[in-house]
Amino acid sequence: MPQRQRGAALILAVVLLGLLALTTLSRALSAPPGVAETLATERALARARDALVGYAALGNSEGSQANSPGALPCPDLDNDGAADFSCAGHIGRLPWRTLGLGRTTDGSGECLWYARSPTYSNNIPTSTRGTSPDRPALNPATPGEIVEVGSTGPSGRLLAAAVFAPGHAQGGQLRGAADAVSGCRGGSIGQFLEDVAVAGTDRPHTGGLNAVSLPPDAGFNDRVIALDTPRLFVTASTRVLAELRPQTVPDDGTRNADGTPVAEWWTRNQWCSRLCMQGSDARITLSDGRLIARTLAVLPDCALPCS
């Protein structure tokens, strides 16, 4: 290309980039008030939910293979950004350090909060799974315990977990200064999340067993993102199927002859009850009917043909 043409093309490119920048700025300036804050909140909530899904598939942020696939971390109960070791409650701040995230805030600058179903706790030892109703086998058939609620009442979905964005302080809420360790403001849960009645029934957020989505008003401005069991187990089931593979040569003791893992998480959580075979494909059925499949080189003895 002649030098003059190259120069003209460069000028045209600069002009187009300038017009694009002006258009983007114009849209941002003309956006209704609160849109940028709402978008920031939605991004933070989605990022937190995705991190929880990844944690549940791997066992923890370091990828522990001993934990139950699908198990979720305890909340941060002392505002240090990490999951509480004793797990004395099932709602608290999002444990962003444990999840491998940076400090995660909503559009108002407040740190996120998080609740997970008690039976999904990763503090339940894998060796005790399936021994009592409060320590059930953890697999795609395990129901959540958090009620999803809309403007007319429960949606019918029971969630494994929910993440909450508190938004700006409501009337009567008093929030403390930012913690030196976590950067999150201090205060009890009632200073951040609201309790509300829906269709004549109390649906408190502060108890951690409701996830309410309503249009914001003067008395309620919590934003919520749900983590239902199918979304959680899409990734966890993919990890489980990846664990079904032939023994190594020489045998390292991690696999049975039929390719199933020599691991408590496999037997205690009754994964074979969720597995069926279609030819050489292993399939796991999620609670919403979706199938997660993988072609295997060796077929588990325990798997029945898919119906």
Question: How do residues 8-59 score in pLDDT, each as one tens digit?
Answer: 444 544 445 555 555 554 554 454 557 899 999 999 999 999 999 999 998 6
- Low-confidence winner among 15-29, 87-101, 142-156 (lowest mean pLDDT): 15-29
Structure tokens at 121: 């706790």
User: With contact defined as beta carbons under 8 Å apart, do 243 and 229 qualify?
Assistant: no
pTM of the model: 0.86
Could you read off the pLDDT of 242-258 as tens digits, one per residue? 999 898 888 888 889 99
User: Mean pLDDT, to the nearest integer, of 164-179?
Assistant: 94
Higher per-residue pLDDT: 238 or 251 = 238
Structure tokens at 85: 């070791």
Judge whether residue 61 has pLDDT over 60. Answer: no
SS3 at position 99: coil
Q: How far apart are CA 87 and CA 73, in angstroms?
A: 9
pLDDT band, very low/low/confident/very high, at 217 (cuts 50, 70, 90): confident
* Nearest-10 Cα torsion for 287, 292, 297, 303: 20
pLDDT at 248: 82
- Say how far residue 105 (Cα) sits from the centre of its chain: 15
pLDDT at 58: 82
- Low-confidence winner among 27-36, 124-133, 162-171, 212-221 (lowest mean pLDDT): 27-36
User: With contact defined as beta carbons under 8 Å apart, do 128 and 71 qualify?
Assistant: no
Could you read off the pLDDT of 69-79 as tens digits, one per residue? 999 999 999 99
Residues 6 or more apart from 235 whose CB is under 8 A from it?
53, 54, 56, 57
pLDDT at 59: 63
Q: How far apart are CA 103 and CA 183, in angstroms?
A: 8
Rg (CA), the chain: 24
Compute how many other C-beta atoms are within 10 angstroms of the C-beta atom of residue 247. Answer: 16
pLDDT at 83: 93
User: Mean pLDDT, to the nearest integer, of 269-289?
Assistant: 94
pLDDT at 33: 54
Return contacts of 63-69, CB within 8 angstroms, 24+ apart. Answer: 65/263, 65/265, 66/126, 66/263, 66/264, 66/265, 67/122, 67/126, 67/265, 68/122, 68/124, 68/126, 68/129, 68/138, 68/265, 68/268, 68/269, 69/138, 69/236, 69/237, 69/239, 69/240, 69/265, 69/269
Q: In the predicted model, what is the mean pLDDT of the chain? A: 88
Could you read off the pLDDT of 104-129 as tens digits, one per residue? 999 999 999 999 999 999 999 999 99
User: With contact defined as beta carbons under 8 Å apart, do 220 and 196 qualify?
Assistant: yes
Judge whether residue 274 has pLDDT over 70. Answer: yes
pLDDT band, very low/low/confident/very high, at 208 (cuts 50, 70, 90): very high
pLDDT at 4: 47
User: Mean pLDDT, to the nearest integer, of 223-249?
Assistant: 93
**Residue 267 burial (10 A CB sphere; 0-12, 13-18, 19+):** middle
Judge whether residue 289 has pLDDT over 90. Answer: yes
User: Mean pLDDT, to the nearest integer, of 145-161?
Assistant: 96
Question: Which residues does residue 190 pair with via DSSP β-bridges, in sequence order?
Answer: none
User: Mean pLDDT, to the nearest integer, of 135-146?
Assistant: 97
User: With contact defined as beta carbons under 8 Å apart, do 99 and 120 qualify?
Assistant: no
Structure tokens at 6: 């190259």
Structure tokens at 104: 């995660």
Question: Which residues does residue 275 pair with via DSSP β-bridges, in sequence order?
Answer: 284
* Nearest-10 Cα torsion for 185, 206, 217, 108: 20
